[in-house]
Amino acid sequence: MNSTDNTNPQSGSAPLPLGGDGGRLSCLIIGSGPAGYTAAIYAGRANLSPVLYTGMQMGGQLTQTTIVENFPGYPEGVDANQMMGELQQQAARFGADIRFGVITKVDLSKRPYTVTTDDGTELEADTIIIATGASAKYLGLDDEKKYNGQGVSACATCDGFFYRKKVVAVVGGGDTACEEATYLAGLCQKVYMIVRKPFLRASDIMKKRVEENPKIEILYEHNTIGLYGENGVEGAHLVKRKGEADEECYDLPIDGFFLAIGHKPNTDVFAEWLQLDETGYIKTVGDSPCVLDKEGNILPGVFAAGDCADPHYRQAIVAAGSGCKAALEAERYLQTL
C-alpha cells in the first residue's frame, strides 16, 4: 500500500506528520518485537513520525531463540537477533524515533493520551500502538537460563525443526502442551510429556490425540528439578511422586526441553483501561487491531498488535502482520482529526 502523500506544499519536499501538535506525538508505539517494528516501518512510511519505546527486551522474546527458519525471506534461516536488528534498522530508515525505555504508566481517560516512562518523562500521543508482547512462563530453574537457546525452548513451532529424529520433552499438561507434543511427534523420534499432576488438564480431544500417539509417552506425577549437558541439553533430572514415600529420582536423556506451561501477556500497565481476557490478553474488535475500554466501547486511536493480543498463534509473522494493520488503522484515524 502506498503511504498518503503528506508533503509540505510550501517546501515541496519536507513531510508533515499527520496529527500531533508541537511536543505531542502523532503515533507512539510501545514494544519492539516484530509487531512493534513493523508498525514503526508502516507508520514511518506514512509520515506519522512514530516514536517507539523498546521495553526492557529490545527485539522482544524472539531474541531469546537462536535461528529463525520459518520467517519468509530467509531461505537458509536467520539469526534471531540479526533479524530483529534488521527490522529495527528498517524502521529507523523510515524515520522512526527508537528509544530504549519502559512505559510504566498510562492514562487513557482522555485524548491526547498520556504515558509515563521509567525515567519519569510524560508524553502525549494522539495514537498508541500497544505491541508489548507476551512472556513464556518458565519453571524457574537456573538451568533454563543456562541452556536457553541450547536445548531449552518455549516454542515448538519455532524450534522443533532443529530436533528432527531426536528425543525431546514437553513440560505441561494442558491443551498447549498437548498441541506442542503432537507437533513435535511429527518431527521427532520420541516425545516425553512431563506432567506434574496425575492427569492431563487438556480437553478430551487433545488428551485422546496424545494418548493414542505412539511417539508420545506421558510421565505423570513428574517434576523437573534440573537439566544437564556439556554443550547443550543432554538430559533432565526428574522426580517422580515428589514428597511421597515412593519418591523416585532419575535422569531422562533428551536432546530438547520445551516449556508449554503458558504465556503471560505484558499488559499489566493497561489493565485499568482496557478489556483483557482471563489470562490478560488485550481484547480486540474482530479481525481489527482496535481495542475496547472497560465499558466495551472502542477506544479511538488505541490499537493492539502482536502477542499481547494473540493467545492463539504467537508467531513472528502473525505479529508482524498485525503490526502492519495497527499502523494502517492509526494512519486512517489521524486523517480524521
Catalytic residues: 155, 158-159
**If DSSP codes are grouped into helix, strand and coil, which group holds residue 150?**
coil
Q: 96, 52 in Cβ contact below 8 A?
A: yes
Helix (H) or strand (E) holding 197: none
**For the chain, the helix, strand and coil percentages under 3-state DSSP, each to the nearest 5:** 25, 30, 45
Q: Please report where in the chains the cell 494473540 appears, as a residue.
A: 310
The distance of Cα 163 from the centroid of its chain, to the nearest Å, equals: 22
Q: Please report where in the chains the cell 508420545 appears, as a residue.
A: 216
First vs last C-alpha separation in the chain: 22
Nearest to 48 by CA among 130, 132, 131, 125: 125
Residues 236-239: contacts with CB under 8 Å, at least 24 apart: 236/169, 236/194, 238/194
The distance of Cα 2 from the centroid of its chain, to the nearest Å, equals: 28
Half-sphere exposure of 78 (CA within 13 A, CB side): 17
What Å distances lie between residue 177 and 110, 161, 194, 220, 329, CA to CA? 42, 17, 9, 13, 35
Residue type, 282: I
Q: 18, 127 in Cβ contact below 8 A?
A: no
What cell does 165 get? 529424529
Nearest to 191 by CA among 225, 157, 160: 160
